[in-house]
Structure formats: C-alpha cells, structure tokens
C-alpha cells in the first residue's frame, strides 16, 4: 500500500495536486493539536471537508480513483513545536516504511511541521513532493498571522533524497560513470571499466563487489533503478538521480 502524508492547510489545490501526483491508496492529513487560533482551525476543517468531498465525489472520482482512505482523525502534532512534530512524524513514516510505500507533500502546513516532515522523509527515504502555486494572495488569512494563501497550481516537483550526513557518503563515482554511459549501464562490469579504465583483469571481481554495494545504496536512495537481464544487472539513472548529480556538478563547479 502507498501512504501519503500531508499537513493540514488552507491550500486545497496544492494538497490535491500532491495526491494526484503521488497516487496513494491512503492519504494521511496531519492535524494540529495546538489550536491557538480557533477561527483559523475552523477554516482548516472546512478545507479538509472539501478535500474529502472532492476525492470521493462522483464528479471527480476518476481523478482520484486510487485513493481508498483519507485519515483526518488519527495523526496529531503540535504545529508550534518542532521536536514534537519531528519525533511523531519520524515514527509514523518509519513505521509505514517497513511494509508500505510512503510519500510526503511539503506544500501545506506551517514551516515548523513542513521542516519536520522533510527531515523524516529524508531519513526514511520517502518520496517527497512540493507543489508550486500559481500566485499568492496579497492579504493575510487573519489579523493574527501574516501568512498568505497560495492559489492555483503552477508545477509539481519531486525533491531528491539527501542523506542526513549530507552528500559525503554518496558514491557519486557510480552515478558519474552511468552518466558517461549515456544514462544506462548494461552491466556492473561496464561501470567498473568506466570508473577505472586501466583496472587489471584480476582486480575486476573485487571491484565489482564494491560497486554492487554502492549500486544498492543508490537504489535505496532512489538515484538508480536496476533490472535483471540474464545474468547481468542493467543499471540506469532515475530522474531524481539526474537531479542530484546535476546538483553535485554545480557544487563542484
């Protein structure tokens, strides 16, 4: 099952767009347990009710046919306490990740809970989406907050996973070798030969074992995909792998 986490918010279109891109079977809307502004929470509840109605309505059901459940009552964090949000969200995401595919949408909620969700996603390898709005309203939501509502949808982005120790332990040599093979390696031996063109024949076996472990790490991060062809593994860069590799090149340059 695919579980999709998204914080509560007032930007209905961005929440729905994330659901449409991720195509989950279960949607979890993370709720705020610290209701500082009653009027704002009433607006949030109205927005959540509209989201449920649109997902399960006959008119829009074809657009969200994959969704079987929308849970709006089981997951609460303090939207004004980063540690509380991080601990709970990390526990939820890591628990679901054991048996299910997990994705998150960072487009709603306040910055505190969005940062907590981002950290949990990076740690646990969850697919991470951000939906860019078409424009922002000029006025505030309510007098008590300077936040502005986003309207419409401009684009959606998949954010590459970055390990918590940043980029020091990512085997970029493998990604760079695959890129030099036009994005697809027909075998691990091809990757080894690209990395070490002058490698001795009697060293290839041990280097293949090292590269195989690095490929598995990259596969878990979502940077490469692997398919079996006979006795060989075909390894190719994913779209996210291309993004992180381009980021690395800009950093080095």
pLDDT at 144 over 50: no
- Estimate to the nearest angstrom the gap between the alpha carbon of 86 and the chain centroid: 16
pLDDT at 133: 80
* pLDDT tens profile 146-162: 456 666 777 777 777 76
pLDDT in tens, 181-194: 999 999 999 999 99
How many Cβ atoms from other residues are within 10 Å of residue 167's Cβ? Answer: 12
pTM, whole model, 2 decimals? 0.65
Select the more confidently predicted residue: 69 or 230: 69
Q: pLDDT tens digits for 50-90?
A: 999 999 998 998 999 999 999 999 999 999 988 889 989 99
All structural domains of the chain: 2-159 (3.40.50.11700), 172-252 (1.10.10.10)
**pLDDT score of 164:** 61
Average pLDDT value over all residues in the chain = 87
Give 124-143 pLDDT, tens digit per residue. 889 999 998 876 666 545 54
Spell out where the chain has E strands.
2-7, 26-32, 69-71, 76-77, 101-105, 127-132, 135-136, 150-151, 155-159, 184-185, 224-229, 232-237
CA distance 194 to 163: 25
Contact status, residue 66 vs residue 23, Cβ threshold 8 Å: yes
């Amino acid at each position: 099952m695919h579980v999709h986490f998204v914080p509560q918010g007032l930007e209905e279109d961005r929440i729905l767009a994330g659901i449409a891109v991720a195509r989950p079977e279960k949607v979890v809307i993370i709720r705020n347990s610290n209701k500082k502004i009653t009027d704002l929470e009433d607006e949030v509840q109205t927005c959540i009710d509209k989201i449920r109605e649109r997902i399960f309505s006959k008119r829009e059901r074809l657009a969200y046919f994959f969704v079987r459940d929308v849970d709006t009552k089981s997951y609460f964090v303090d939207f004004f306490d980063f540690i509380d949000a991080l601990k709970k969200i990390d526990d939820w995401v890591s628990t679901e990740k054991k048996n299910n595919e997990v994705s998150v949408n960072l487009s709603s909620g306040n910055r505190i809970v969005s940062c907590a969700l981002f950290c949990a996603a990076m740690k646990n390898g969850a697919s991470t989406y951000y939906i860019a709005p078409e424009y922002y309203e000029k006025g505030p939501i309510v007098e008590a907050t300077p936040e502005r509502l986003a309207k419409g949808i401009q684009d959606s982005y998949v954010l590459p996973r970055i390990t918590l120790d940043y980029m020091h332990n990512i085997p970029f040599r493998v990604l760079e070798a695959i890129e030099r093979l036009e994005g697809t390696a027909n075998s691990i031996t091809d990757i080894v030969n690209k990395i070490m063109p002058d490698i001795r024949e009697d060293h290839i076996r041990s280097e293949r074992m090292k590269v195989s472990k690095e490929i598995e790490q990259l596969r878990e991060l979502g940077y490469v995909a692997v398919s079996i062809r006979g006795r060989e593994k075909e390894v190719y860069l994913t779209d996210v792998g291309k993004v992180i590799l381009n980021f690395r090149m800009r950093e080095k340059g």
